[in-house]
A and B are shown apart, each in its own frame.
Chain A
Amino acid sequence: MPDIEKTKMEQIAQIWNARRSGLITEMALKIEEVSKEGVLVRMPFNPDFCVDRNQTLLHGSILTALLDSVFGLANLIAIEGISAMATLDLRVDYLRAAQSRADVIVRAHCFRATRHICFNSGSIWFDQHEDEEIARGTASFALTRGEIGLYDALLKEEGRT
C-alpha cells in the first residue's frame, strides 16, 4: 500500500476514534484493522447495552447500531470523495443469543460502490469466538460526492490542514 494511503487511513481511524460525542463515542469503538478491503472494529463490553438484569445478554439492536456505524467507516475508507452518506436500508440477522461479557468484534466491508449508492456487508462475533457469529448484516447507503470529501472536511474540523 502506498504511504499516502496508509497515512490517510490512519488519520481517518484517529479522527473517528477521537469523536467527542454521540453513540459511536458511547460504544467506545476501537479500530483494530483498516484497509480498502474492509475494517475490523472492537466494542468493549458495556452493561448498559444488556437486556437482562444480570447484564450478560446484549440487546440485539446495539449490534444493529454497531453494524450501521462500522459500515460508515468502511465506506469512508474505501470510497474516494464522499462528502456525505445516509443509510438507505439495513438488514440484520441475529444468529445466536449475544450472551457474554467478552468484547464484541465486527468486520465490515463495502463490496460495491457506484456513483450514488454503495453496498455493505458485515459480521459480528465475541472476541476469540470468530467461529460463532452472533449477527450478520447488509446495508445500502446513498452517497453524496462533492468538491470537499468528508475526509478533508474532518481534517479541517480537527485543524490539521
Chain B
Amino acid sequence: MNHFWIIIISILAGLPCAWLGSFLVLRKMAMIGDAISHSILPGIVIAYLMSGQKDSFLLFLGASLFGILSTFLIEYLHSKSGLQADASIGITFTFLFSLGVILICYFSSQIDLDQDCVLYGELAYSPLSRWIIDIYDFGPKAFWVLFLVVICTFSYIYFFYQPLKLVSFDEEFAKVSGINVMLWHYSLMGMVSFITVSTFEEVGSILVISNLAVPALTAFLISKNFKRMLFLASFFLILSCILGYGLAYFLNVAVAASISLLGGLIFGIVFITEKMISNQKKYLALGL
C-alpha cells in the first residue's frame, strides 16, 4: 500500500508543476521556476520562525511572498536597470538564497530545517504521516494537501486558460487585445511560488525544478497544439513517477532524484525518436 501512496503523492506533486511548467517553457521563463524555488528559502525561514511549525499557512504565505518578490526584483533589474535577463535572474535568486542560508545559520538553534530535506524531500516517508479523525484513517495527510493543490492549479488553468495561453504565445497581441499582461505575469509567478512551496516538502526542490521543466519540454518537442502539450506533459510526468519509483525501489536511492533521472531519460528517448522520424521524413521528401 505504501508503494501506491508514494507514487500517487509524487504524481499529485508533479502535475501542477508540469502544467505551469508548460506555460513557463512557452514564455521562455523555464529558469524562473528555478529562481523562485531558491528564492522562497528566506520566506520559509521567516515564516517558520514566526509560527514555529512546519505545516502552517504562514509558511505558504511567506514563501509565496518571497517568490513574487523575486520575480518583481528580476523584472525591475531587467527592465529598469537594463540588466540582461539571465543575469538578473542569477543575481536575484542567489541573493535571496544566501539570505535564507544565513538566516538558517543565525537561528540554527530554533530551526530544524534540514538542508537535506529541502533538497531531496521526504517522499519515502510521506505516507507515514496520516490524517486521522477519531478512529477513521483517511490516508496520508500529504495526499489530501496535494490533492487540494492540484484542484487549485487545475481550476486556475481551466478558468483562465484563454488569457494565459494568449499571454504565453503572443504577449504583444495580448496587450493589444486589452489583456493586462503584467497581471497575468504576476499571477502565474504567484502560482509557481505557491506550488513550489506546497510541493517541495514532499518532493524536494530538485524535483520541483525538474518537474517544472522536463515533462513540459518533452511534450513541447512533439506537440503542435497547446492542449495536447498539457496532456502529454501530464502523461510523461506520470510515466516518470511510476518508473522512477521503481528504480528508486530497486536501487534503494532517493525517490525524488530518481524520478527526475527518469524524466531526463524519457526526454532523451523522445528527443532521439523525434529526430529520427523527422530525418526519415526529410529523406522521404527528398525521394531518397
Partners in one complex: no
A contacts, CB < 8 Å to B? none
B contacts, CB < 8 Å to A? none
